[in-house]
């Protein structure tokens, strides 16, 4: 009986890898540089070589592995086809097939979108542990999402399931999102969006604010810190950002009806203060829901991806 599984979270700068026992215990973890030159052709061979060495170091054979899970930064179709991963240079690729071939062709491999597998990781061993229907929301430079229903990733017909960041929630937004739309959740509630909203509030008012002291160094973190300290304008801008985020979560809740929303990413370091703001607005936008999903913080941090990738091959 197989005793181990491997999670591989492929990012634009590094590939995070984890060797797990099938009970979720992390045995070892390491990183491999992401070599994106030549359309990223070296990425998977580099991972395979590093993995083979790690298995040898631990005295583990290929037969001891039940599978390898890959998380990639792009849409993944149900058959494992990835049309494009802009941050990796990949086009028209079946990563799981290639990885399996590189490891001798006998180890089962699965591939999923990185945000979706991170959600699976949080469900398995993180903030969503104990639940099997969760929505994970990553608040970072952008806003990512992953939907798990009855323990299974909901990726959709074309791999776009969980793209919470590009839901339209704001009609008066004049700037364009990276996706080409206007008024996306990401434009209001990402780290970039929170900072943008704070600058707008500052520009529209002469009121004193500690945020002004930071000048060009003002960041999302400082906006959140000032809001925690009771700064009026910081609170105003952060409330606006969390209002729009909650609108998006409410729409998701009425479609998916999860047990819990798990909030992660760099912005989530603002902690319970941020969660309480989200809950306040979420309650406003979900009057029909008597048993509202809880909203909690993620706990696995940057390791959520490798946990989720490993869990994916145990299904």
Contact (Cβ atoms closer than 8 angstroms) between residue 154 and residue 163: no
Per the prediction, the chain carries an average pLDDT of 94
Rounded to an integer, the average pLDDT of 14-31 is 96
Rounded to an integer, the average pLDDT of 5-19 is 95
Rounded to an integer, the average pLDDT of 262-287 is 96
Q: Which range among 58-72, 149-163, 183-197 shows the weakest confidence by mean pLDDT?
A: 149-163
Q: What's residue 141's pLDDT?
A: 85
Distance CA 146, CA 248 (A): 14
| Whole-angstrom Cα Rg for the chain | 20
Contact (Cβ atoms closer than 8 angstroms) between residue 213 and residue 201: no
Rounded to an integer, the average pLDDT of 201-214 is 97
- For 90-107, the pLDDT digits (tens) are 999 999 999 999 999 999
At residue 248 the predicted structure's pLDDT band, cuts being 50, 70 and 90, is: very high
User: Is the pLDDT score of 265 beyond 70?
Assistant: yes
Distance CA 311, CA 7 (A): 8
Q: What's residue 74's pLDDT?
A: 84
Contact (Cβ atoms closer than 8 angstroms) between residue 100 and residue 107: yes
Rounded to an integer, the average pLDDT of 140-159 is 89
Sort 27 into a burial class: Cβ within 10 Å, 0-12 / 13-18 / 19+: middle
- Collect all residues with Cβ–Cβ distance below 8 Å to 142 and sequence separation of at least 6: 165, 178, 186, 190, 192
At residue 1 the predicted structure's pLDDT band, cuts being 50, 70 and 90, is: low
High-pLDDT (> 90) share of the chain, %: 85
Rounded to an integer, the average pLDDT of 235-259 is 97
Contact (Cβ atoms closer than 8 angstroms) between residue 222 and residue 199: no
Q: Cα–chain-centroid distance for residue 126?
A: 13
Contact (Cβ atoms closer than 8 angstroms) between residue 54 and residue 30: yes
- For 110-134, the pLDDT digits (tens) are 999 888 999 999 999 999 999 999 9
Rounded to an integer, the average pLDDT of 233-254 is 98
Distance CA 307, CA 139 (A): 19
């Amino acid at each position: 009986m197989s005793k181990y599984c491997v999670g591989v979270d492929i990012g634009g700068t590094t590939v995070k890898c984890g060797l797990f026992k099938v009970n979720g215990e992390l045995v070892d973890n390491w990183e491999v540089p992401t070599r994106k030159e030549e359309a990223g052709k070296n990425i998977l061979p580099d991972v395979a070589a590093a993995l083979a060495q790690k298995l040898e170091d631990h005295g583990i054979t290929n037969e001891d592995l039940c599978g390898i899970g890959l998380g990639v930064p792009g849409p993944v179709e149900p058959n494992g086809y990835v049309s494009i991963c802009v941050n990796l240079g990949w086009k028209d690729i079946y990563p799981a097939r290639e990885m399996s071939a590189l490891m001798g062709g006998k180890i089962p491999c699965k591939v999923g979108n990185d945000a979706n597998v991170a959600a699976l990781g949080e469900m398995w061993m993180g903030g969503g542990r104990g639940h099997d229907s969760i929505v994970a929301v990553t608040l970072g430079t952008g806003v990512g999402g992953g939907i798990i229903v009855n323990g299974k990733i909901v990726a959709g017909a074309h791999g776009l399931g969980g793209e919470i960041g590009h839901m339209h929630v704001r009609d008066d937004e004049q700037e364009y999102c990276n996706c080409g739309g206007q008024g996306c959740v990401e434009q209001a509630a990402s780290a970039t969006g929170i900072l943008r909203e704070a600058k707008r509030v500052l520009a529209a008012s002469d009121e004193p604010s500690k945020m002004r002291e930071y000048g060009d160094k003002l960041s999302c973190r400082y906006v959140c810190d000032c809001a925690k300290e009771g700064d009026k304008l910081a609170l105003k801008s952060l409330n606006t950002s969390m209002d729009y985020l909650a609108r998006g979560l409410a729409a998701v809740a009425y479609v998916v009806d999860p047990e819990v929303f798990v909030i992660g990413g760099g912005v989530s370091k603002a902690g319970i203060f941020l969660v309480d703001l989200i809950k306040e607005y979420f309650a406003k936008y979900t009057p029909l829901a008597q048993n509202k999903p809880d909203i909690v913080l993620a706990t696995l941090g940057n390791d959520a991806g490798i946990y989720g990738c490993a869990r994916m091959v145990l299904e």
